[in-house]
Amino acid sequence: MVRRRSELPAQDELVMCTITEVFAQGAFAKLDEYPGKEGMIHISEVASGWIKNIRDYVREGQKGVCKVLAVNPEKGHVDLSIRRVKDSQRRWKAQQHKREQRAEKLLELVAKKLRKNLDKAYEEAGFELQDKFGDLYSALEALAKGKEAFADVKVDKKWIDALSEVAASTVETPTVEVVAHIDLSCPSPNGVDVIKAALINARDSTKDSEVDAEAYYVGSPRYRVRITAPSYKIAEGALQKFAEAAIAEVKKVGGQGELHPIPKGG
């Protein structure tokens, strides 16, 4: 069971639920990520429009994604909605939950190696990693790249070392790719060499442990630039940095340059 540090979810949070009881005016649902907690779904929040028979929409044992409408910490009441969850949100949450289930299994595996149970694993490492990285799987993805991001994480080194070993062999770090064209021209007699050096310098200044950059000749004055990185934000930032570095280099000797994003499918 994937779990969270807090006892109750926050308002507007998307939560995984299991329907435990259905009655005429609504249903009760177990909050799968919050052990021992449940919420209520009023019939008006089950589906849009008039509902003749609620059991046409929900049944005991049914699992799904709900949106948290309101939380009363004093009474422990949680109001939920099914109808206010968009299809894209439902798919995203379901995918995230599967990732977390996999991460939890890996956490439990490490716990056994350290002769701990899963409860202790969460107390000593899991909850802290969730707080730092947002979720367990993201923490394992970061560990698969190295331990540099864990210098200020308040988790015992034995957990970091053991989780790092497991992550390195079982977790694939995510990568995305962005591609663009860059036009470079240089009127000087050694213009070709200038452009070649500009591209090499731009590549070297852009590449690091997270980013890979390459440029290929397409046809004068066009070059194709490909950036591979862990996220689109990082990749697009690296692409901009690459283009600015290359263009600045050729402009020093009277050349010109321009970046041209490639439409999807281009």
Q: What is the 3-state secondary structure (H, E, C) of 40-78?
A: EEEHHHCCCCCCCCHHHCCCCCCEEEEEEEEEECCCCEE
Angle of the 157-170 helix axis to the 87-113 helix axis, nearest 10? 120
What pLDDT is stored for residue 231 in this prediction?
76
Sheet-wide strand order for 222-229: 212-219, 222-229, 176-185, 256-261
What pLDDT is stored for residue 261 in this prediction?
79
What pLDDT is stored for residue 264 in this prediction?
53
| Amino acid at site 204 | D
What pLDDT is stored for residue 176 in this prediction?
77
Bond into 189 cis (ω within 30): no
Query: Alpha-carbon distance 78 to 227, whole Å?
Result: 45
Q: Residue 239 corresponds to which tokens in the numbers above? A: 């692409």
The single-letter DSSP state of residue 200 is H
pLDDT in tens, 115-128: 999 999 999 999 99
Alpha-carbon dihedral 120, 128, 101, 234, rounded to 10 degrees: -160
Strand partners, 39: 29
What pLDDT is stored for residue 265 in this prediction?
47
Identify the three-state secondary structure at position 221.
Answer: coil
Per-block mean pLDDT, blocks of 10 residues, the chain (266 long): 83 95 96 94 95 95 97 94 94 90 94 94 94 88 84 91 90 80 92 93 85 88 89 86 94 92 60
Query: Alpha-carbon distance 88 to 18, whole Å?
Result: 20
Identify the three-state secondary structure at position 3.
Answer: coil
| Backbone phi and psi for residue 127, each to the nearest 5 degrees, phi listed first | -65, -40
For residue 227, the number of C-alpha atoms closer than 13 Å in the C-beta half-sphere is 31
Query: Alpha-carbon distance 32 to 229, whole Å?
Result: 33
Q: Are 206 and 238 in contact (CB under 8 A)?
A: yes
Tell me the domains of the chain and their CATH numbers.
Answer: 14-84 (2.40.50.140), 88-170 (1.10.150.190), 176-261 (3.30.70.1130)
pLDDT in tens, 104-160: 999 999 999 999 999 999 999 999 999 888 889 888 988 888 888 788 889 999 999
Mean pLDDT score across all residues of the chain: 90
What pLDDT is stored for residue 162 in this prediction?
94
Beta strands 38-42 and 77-81 are parallel
Angle of the 136-145 helix axis to the 157-170 helix axis, nearest 10? 80
